[in-house]
A and B are shown apart, each in its own frame.
Chain A
């Protein structure tokens, strides 16, 4: 082997330090987070309101999602189409999404159009008209998209997984709602949802752009100082009871593949175990060279890809393994995954941990390249109550995790009561599971027990 063809060594480690995050709280309680990024003449922001699907637990599933769909359908006297035209004329990207915890307004504009763009945003958030005609159309759109869910095995698997993992907890509800619950949502429901949850102290703005922070704070103050505050705290019940049956199957007879989800409840994001979980997952299923992907894809060729991750909602979180395999390989794939979990009892090796630390350490600067990454990193600080120095201390916290701490996570996972969810052509794999002592529970697309066909 010539010298040229041996692996070159890295010369020196790169030092990267994120600029300081600027923060301010308006008098009404609205929190602001800002990071200056000079590269391009643009800004991006997330306006985040804690008004997501979890609160549907107290009313009708689908209400938060429908509120997010109708809120920009007319505001401050502008019609839905006029509003949309105004954003388009500015060349501004504007979108709204709803998840379990939040309704999120995302805005990206050229700096020259930022003033007008944030003014429009303030109309949508502070002065929505909720016209009934637009409500009916958006409601129908939502019900039709719920019907279409039945076509998509991945979406069915996700919905059932949430239900099985969280049981009757509020995170077990799908944000889109169910057909029968959405049918029963009326204009007053979304107006109530808006009035109850759209409050300044339930909200924050995370932004990045090329203007000075003072200037950004000035705009936020100018357009949002009239956002109402409220002292009422809405509490949701936290008890979680999940069933202990093993394999949950949704039968989709025409499928050529089975969607597989395996996971368990692993708790909310806390600083004391976040980094050991992150390192553990990097080794187990978080990247291409992980144990799961090396085995199921690169050795066995059972799948196009398999990943695992810890998902963190605001008040809880879960661990899940996701993959899809051709129907006839369903059992073999599940067996291999369970074997990999069993192997975790012996822990991971020092080399695996060092590799994961090195990889994540060196990859760190890649997390701060574009404006979307910056606003979502700032949002994470706000959502999980992380200290402002979080990104400055990140590498030190990551690298001080010990092998024992990672192995504690590995062991926890190997001993946890994993739920297995399968969406596919049941007849092609049931027999193998039953023969190997698994109990099959038939479920419908809501994750509720179904009558066997």
Chain B
């Protein structure tokens, strides 16, 4: 599919900043997207949540940009902007009318090279309370909101870079000082630790000249090595129970698997689609459609640079026990292990994947983020075809085998149950 073959140019500035430019003239828009190769996985226990809190500080102005003006300049230009932090990386992005490219580059370069002098205690205390509120709103006050934290904490070995949530533990967030933020910047925000993607209605040569103009003078420094991790197994099944303000109990099964783009990663993803991706998927049909013992069920493979896990989540209907759900879920996976999957199930999944890859090319900002994603994980930004082939080369037999592999693993079981029970 030539549609999935995207052209680009890739260069590196003297200070180590990697630059990828992709031209797409379908609309007069440009997307700017920077990945810094640091996320919560680079944090230390006791200092969890620092990468994310730091991301907030990047929006508080820099030496030549007053507080609140970063947002204002982008909005004045008709653009949108945001940033996000995950286990593996932190990204910052803008999408603007293409004539405003220079404003985005100026703003991004100012906070990459000239952030520290603009930081102060009042900005820091303000954003610390914003982040504490974010944690309350998105996790503590959400039904089942602590599930992710409980899973990563209990599944990954002590000290593993995925064994704490990206938002951070509450007591860690509260303990941070301005010095923590300053030191974090000095460790990880070197231009040599970042990749800048520009995608859209731009001229490549003009764009690279602008990048040189704004980013060229920023000095680089050495950044710490990436954490090293090995895939692991659990010595035995592990059970955790948590009481929450919920009406219905919910079951989580988490199996340690593989890192992203490792062998088996695509197979686990396809297995998750066969199990729960459609109305007639195995688990949905059995638990939700036929027996009506679950309100919902979903399975997914989560994988990153430092590890992966396969997760199954299901909410019980009133009066149904989680052990019954678990028994039937494992039975269904055993059936795939013993009998395999049908041609039709396989075709449904493959056609869905093909549609999704094309649909994902609609927005220029998604394309920019994807170029950065592939560059970070695979070293090759134009990996759309490679990626789709990764799924299309899987055979039905491989899914049967992967179901067997999953069943042979010990797993973590989390039950979130009603406080009243």
Contacts and interface: CB of A to CB of B under 8 A. Distances in A.
Interface of A: 1, 4-8, 10-14, 16, 38-42, 80-81, 84-85, 88-93, 108-110, 137, 140-141, 144-145, 147-148, 150-153, 252, 254-257, 287-289, 294, 297-304, 324-326, 355, 358-366, 368-371
A141 B99 contact: no
Contacts of A362: 76-79, 96-97, 100
Given A89-B348, A288-B71, A369-B364, A301 B126 contact: yes
Interface centre among B138, B289, B354 (most CB of A within 10 A): B289
Contact of A88 (B110, B352, B363): B352
B330 interface: no
A25 to B, nearest CB: 29
B99 A41 contact: no
Contacts of A287: 75
B247 A145 contact: no
B29 A355 contact: no
A135 B246 CA distance: 26
Contacts of B233: none
Contact of A89 (B27, B140, B217, B347): B347
9 contacts: A10-B77, A84-B280, A144-B318, A148-B248, A256-B141, A257-B141, A288-B71, A301-B130, A324-B141
A203 to B, nearest CB: 25
Nearest to A110: B355
B141 A289 contact: no
A interface secondary structure, majority: mixed
Contacts of A364: 78
A368 B364 CA distance: 12
Given A8-B102, A144-B317, A362-B97, A85 B280 contact: yes
A302 B126 CA distance: 9
Nearest to A147: B247
Identify the interface centre among B278, B354, B355, B361: most chain A CB within 10 Å of its CB: B355
A197 B114 CA distance: 62
B361 A40 contact: yes
B227 interface: no
B106 A8 contact: yes
Contacts of B317: 140, 144
Contacts of B363: 369-370
B358 A42 contact: yes
A301 B129 contact: yes
Contacts of A145: 295
Interface string B71-95: 1110111111000000000000001
A423 to B, nearest CB: 10
B247 A84 contact: no
Going nearest first, the 7 A-B pairs with the smallest beta carbon separation are A362-B78, A301-B129, A91-B351, A151-B143, A91-B355, A84-B279, A370-B362
Contact of B419 (A147, A152, A254): A254
Given A8-B102, A40-B362, 4 more contacts: A14-B97, A84-B278, A84-B280, A366-B95
Contact of B64 (A1, A153, A358, A371): A1
Nearest to A90: B351
Contacts of A39: 26, 361-362
A5 B245 contact: no
B64 A288 contact: no
A5 B64 contact: yes
A109 B95 CA distance: 26
Contacts of A288: 71, 75
B279 A81 contact: yes
Contact of B359 (A108, A141, A300): A108
A302 B73 CA distance: 24
Contacts of B344: 85, 89
B3 A41 contact: yes
A39 B127 CA distance: 41
A154 to B, nearest CB: 9
Contacts of B98: 14
Contacts of B279: 80-81, 84
Contacts of A38: 26
A141 B29 contact: no
Nearest to B362: A370
Contact of A299 (B28, B99, B126, B131): B126
B281 to A, nearest CB: 9
A93 B355 contact: yes
Contact of A255 (B79, B141, B289, B292): B141
Task: Name the residue in B72, B95, B140, B359 with the highest tally of chain A Cβ atoms < 10 Å from its Cβ.
Answer: B359
A300 B99 CA distance: 35
A257 to B, nearest CB: 4
Given A10-B100, A40-B358, A137-B289, A369 B29 contact: yes
B68 interface: yes
Contacts of B347: 89
B68 A298 contact: yes
Given A4-B213, A145-B295, A256-B140, A88 B348 contact: yes
B78 A152 contact: no
Nearest to A16: B28
B292 A140 contact: yes
Nearest to B285: A81
B78 A12 contact: no
Given A41-B3, A93-B355, A366 B29 contact: yes
B222 interface: no
Contacts of B419: 254
Nearest to A329: B133
Given A4-B213, A325-B133, A147 B318 contact: yes
B141 A109 contact: no
B278 A88 contact: yes
Contacts of B129: 301-302
B125 A289 contact: no
Given A12-B99, A362-B97, A6 B64 contact: yes
Contacts of B79: 362-363, 366
B103 interface: yes
A298 B56 CA distance: 11
B383 to A, nearest CB: 19
B3 A40 contact: yes
B217 A4 contact: yes
B385 interface: no
Nearest to B105: A8
B280 A302 contact: no
Query: Max chain B CB contacts within 10 Å: which of A89, A255, A362?
Result: A362
Given A7-B103, A88-B352, A289-B68, A363 B80 contact: yes
B378 interface: no
B137 A304 contact: yes
Contacts of A325: 133
Contact of B136 (A89, A151, A257): A257
